[in-house]
């Protein structure tokens, strides 16, 4: 558990974070994460190849299109998109990736996790950043507690 907390704190201490999977639907999980990161002081960049604007911010089709280099990528997409995003991180020198998962499969892809490790990218394969991004709301405190009790938090980071 301490390893996950250290990795989450390291990821969340970064200034510039891209969030892949944001949607025109503001109720989607990626959008909630995007807003929380933005509202907690991060410079956040939405990634979605099918949107020009999301949450009032310019949206980018991929990481190479960003106006600046980001420090980390939050993946909140179907698992099938994760490997392509990790390959983009490797090409651009982005050294931190977090693949979202609350309950269910989330965005975690074994192939993408392996690619992160091959490229020396620090990876969090699971969990939700809203369980760690302060202040943590009551609902995510409960989710964190349940995930820890049921063994659904990532191990061996």
Indicate the domain borders of the chain.
Answer: 2-149
pLDDT at 73: 98
What is the fold of 2-149?
Rossmann fold (3.40.50)
CA distances (Å), origin 40, targets 29, 61, 113, 143: 17, 24, 27, 20
**pLDDT (tens digit, 9 = 90+) per residue, 57-101?**
999 999 999 999 999 999 999 999 999 999 999 999 999 999 998
Tell which residue, 155, 138, 133, 148, has the closest CA to residue 8.
133
**Distance (Å, whole) CA 127 – CA 7:** 11
Phi, psi of 143 (to 5 degrees): -60, -40
Mean residue pLDDT of the chain comes to 92
Q: What is the DSSP letter of 48?
A: -
Please report where in the chains the tokens 């020396």 appear, as a residue. 120
């Amino acid at each position: 558990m301490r390893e996950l907390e250290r990795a989450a704190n390291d990821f969340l201490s970064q200034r510039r974070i891209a969030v892949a999977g944001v949607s025109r639907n503001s109720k989607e999980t990626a959008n909630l994460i995007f807003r929380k990161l933005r509202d907690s002081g991060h410079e956040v960049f939405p990634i979605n190849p099918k949107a020009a604007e999301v949450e009032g911010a310019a949206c980018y089709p991929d990481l190479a299109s960003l106006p600046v280099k980001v420090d980390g990528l939050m993946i909140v997409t179907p698992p099938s998109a994760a490997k392509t995003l990790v390959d983009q991180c490797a090409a651009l020198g982005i050294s931190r990736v977090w693949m979202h998962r609350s309950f269910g499969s989330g965005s975690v892809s074994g192939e993408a996790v392996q690619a992160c490790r091959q490229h020396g990218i620090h990876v969090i394969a699971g969990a939700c950043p809203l369980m760690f991004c302060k202040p943590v709301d009551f609902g995510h405190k409960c989710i964190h507690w349940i995930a820890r009790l049921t063994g659904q938090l990532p191990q061996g980071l």
